[in-house]
Structure 1
Amino acid sequence: MQGYEFRYGPHLISGPGAARRLAEVLPAGRSLFVTDANVRALGLADGVLAALPDPIVFDAVEEDPSRDTLMAAVAAGEGCTSVVGFGGGSPMDVAKLAAYLIATGEDLDTLWGVGKALGRKLPLALVPTTAGTGSEATAVTVITVGGSEKRGVNSPALYADWAVLDAELTLTLPRHVTAATGIDAMVHAIEAYTSARRKNPMSDMFARKALRLISDNLLIACDRPDDLEARGKMLTAAHLAGIAFDNAPVAGVHALAYPLGGHFHVPHGLSNALMLTHVLSHNMEAARPLYAELGAMLDPTSRDIGQQGQAQAFVQHLSRLSRAAGVPQRLSAVGIGPEHLDLLASEAMKQERLLVNNPCPITEADARRLYEAAL
């Protein structure tokens, strides 16, 4: 048995209404409350904000948050004693780095990459309002720089002190958001389970549990949006998938998804969903045994059809689930055409930190072919 390392950071608080407990755990003083305008408009943060003593609210976070947005949040939080990230992955990512930069005053450009942030951040609480990114569980944040390029900071210093899973906050999510973010979490689990780097028995355990929970509950959450139990299980699944990919990093699906967000502003979960089955088919030769394991787990009746059949059944199961949830299936549905293929393929090659984790190589020609298949 080979040795491995496994890490997990936050103190987890879970249950309906759990977000209202934030005021009990945060230190005295003013909090920087990082969110987005949509979350504010829906009133999801009202109860928490009312319980916090004089918070500073920064609600200008956009999808694929920019460096300028991050630095504006840092400026807004000067003098704060804690930071709360409340919303989807974008507000949580901004909150992580803001908590670090406010406390340390370090130059952001010295932090890109793995293990560069070595200082001590402000106390940080992360509260997801979607069941998808798992950002509340991870020590990585992704920021858009230069207009379209995504860069990451990955360091244990970014772990939240508290991760709060409150299913009540997800009850009003529209179906298309529930579907896309659920598929996003599914991609995290699958890519962690098949990652070429740092895959280990612990990450496998979290990935398998996450995948089973999503497979069993995604359509229930889509079809019965007020089902608190299904919503809670989806939040748990996204969190478990976050733990998994924080330790066994994601790969080709994410590498090809990022240019869709950076250049065409396709939401991250939908970007992953659009590329999922195409990349998995490309990986089939290298990852067949692992896909077969996951296929047999989700459908025990497939255990008698052999490894190839199990692996193919797994990919087909994911495709059916995505379609049933109502997720768009073609790049053309989000305004991407043949004229964009060269740009996308070239941009995907910049995601070296992700491509190195894929079970098999993805060349620029491969990327172009996969985008073409997804049109």
Structure 2
Amino acid sequence: MKPFIFNTTPSIRMGAGLLDELGDIAKSVCGDRVLVVTDPGMMATGIVKRAVACMEKAGVRATVFSEVQADPPEAVIHAAVAAAQGMSGVIGLGGGSSIDVAKLAALLATGTQSLSDVYGVGMAKGPRLPLIAVPTTAGTGSEVTPISIVTTGASEKMGVVSPMIIPDLALLDPELTRDLPAAVTAATGVDAMVHAIEAYASASPNNNPVSRALACEALRLMAPALERAVQVPHDMEARGDMLLGSLLAGQAFANSPVAAVHALAYPVGGHFKVPHGLSNALVLPHVIRFNAVTAPDAYARLGPIAFPELGGLETAQAAAGFADALAALSARCGLPSGLRAVGITADDVPLLARDAMNQTRLLVNNPRKVTEADARAIYTAAL
């Protein structure tokens, strides 16, 4: 067995209704002056108010920063860092963007580094404030990853990748995902499945047996649960399976990094303001078909785990069937089936392909080399 590294969140707590224990948990991990990082949509749900009340009851003074945007720009990071000054800890409460902002607020509030210092892999050195992540979507897995994504300029995304920003504790309460709109449930769910798929097939030298095992279990849980969660929102078994699957997929790709699906999805989101999960869903089957030409084995193994009806097929058929089944699942969950549905035309393909080539951190992990011409062909197929 080749050497590998596996890092993850030191403490994970999961259970329905666990948010009501956040006060005591926050006090023990983050101290008595806590910044809660969230977004305006979460503020409207009542979940933030409930969390703050719970903390106040436990003697924790909670300040709320609610300016997070999807695909957060640098200005939001700077504002969150300013709000974290003088705090004893930070809690990210919301979707992946809120947790990503919380990670950087906890890191940069100590004043030892600036945002420009920490872009890239291994550049964040710390120290940081204590950090808790409370996800309210089953999608990004950010509660267990060493990654935070920031929008720089008008559309380009850059990553901060370092074990230093892995949260100290992840609190998973399936009840917090119960009232997600169907479209958000579907898009974030496919995003989580992409994490598992890309982690399993990753060409990263750190692709490892732990990540592959987690990826398989994540897909086994999520493939049947996603459609149920979309169609029956209060199916708490489905919600729990999706939330746990998302976490497992997050652990997988945190250590065996994602590749071309994400590389091609980022320009779609950056230029056309398409939510990240939906961007992934739109290009996923087409990237798998491209990769399967030279590297079908991983997809052939994953196919029957997610979709048992693919069992018994030979390798090429199973890999092709996996791509088709994923596309069909997205369609049944109500997601658009092509890039044209989100306003992208053939004229936009060259721009998207050029920008995708900038995602070298991701493309290096793809099991098949992607040229700019390949990216154009994948986008064209996805129209």
Question: Which category describes the TM-score, using the shorter chain as reference length?
Answer: over 0.9
**Equivalent in the alignment of 1:28:** 31
Give deviations 1:223-279, integer Å, cap 9, x for gaps. Answer: 110011110110000000000000000000000000011111100000000000011
Give the Å deviation of 1:300: 4.1
RMSD over aligned Cα atoms:
1.2
Structure 2 CA distance, aligned partners of 1:107 and 1:304? 53
Q: Please give the secondary structure, in 2, of the residue aligned with 1:12.
A: strand
**Equivalent in the alignment of 1:38:** 41
Q: Please give the secondary structure, in 1, of the residue aligned with 2:44.
A: helix
Q: Please give the secondary structure, in 2, of the residue aligned with 1:163.
A: strand
Q: Indicate if the aligned counterparts of 1:104 and 1:121 stay in contact, CA closer than 8 A.
A: no
Structure 1 segments (4+ residues) deviating >4 Å: none
With 251-260 and 293-302 compared, the bigger mean Cα shift is at 293-302
Q: Please give the secondary structure, in 2, of the residue aligned with 1:141.
A: strand
Asked if 1:367 corresponds to 2:370, the answer is no
**Equivalent in the alignment of 1:251:** 259
Q: Indicate if the aligned counterparts of 2:263 and 2:359 stay in contact, CA closer than 8 A.
A: yes
Structure 2 CA distance, aligned partners of 1:255 and 1:70? 22
Of residues 111, 117, 120, the one that matches 2:124 is: 117
Of residues 43, 52, 73, the one that matches 2:80 is: 73
Asked if 1:349 corresponds to 2:357, the answer is yes
Letter in 1 for 2:16: P
Equivalent residues in 2 for 1:232-271 (5 A)?
A: 232-271=240-279
Give the Å deviation of 1:301: 4.5
Structure 2 CA distance, aligned partners of 1:67 and 1:167? 30
Give the Å deviation of 1:298: 3.0
Asked if 1:87 corresponds to 2:94, the answer is yes
Of residues 44, 65, 71, the one that matches 1:64 is: 71
**Equivalent in the alignment of 2:138:** 131
Structure 1 CA distance, aligned partners of 2:308 and 2:233? 28
Equivalent residues in 2 for 1:140-179 (5 A)?
A: 140-179=147-186
**Equivalent in the alignment of 2:219:** 211
**Equivalent in the alignment of 2:50:** 47
Structure 2 CA distance, aligned partners of 1:247 and 1:346? 27
Give the Å deviation of 1:146: 1.4
Give the Å deviation of 1:124: 0.5
Give the Å deviation of 1:299: 3.9
With 152-161 and 311-320 compared, the bigger mean Cα shift is at 311-320
**Equivalent in the alignment of 2:210:** 202
Q: Indicate if the aligned counterparts of 1:100 and 1:122 stay in contact, CA closer than 8 A.
A: yes
TM-score normalised over the length of structure 2: 0.96
**Equivalent in the alignment of 1:15:** 15
Structure 2 CA distance, aligned partners of 1:6 and 1:216? 28
Q: Indicate if the aligned counterparts of 1:133 and 1:184 stay in contact, CA closer than 8 A.
A: yes
Unaligned runs of 5+ residues in structure 2 are none
Q: Please give the secondary structure, in 2, of the residue aligned with 1:276.
A: helix
Give the Å deviation of 1:75: 0.7
Q: Please give the secondary structure, in 1, of the residue aligned with 2:16.
A: coil
Give the Å deviation of 1:10: 3.4
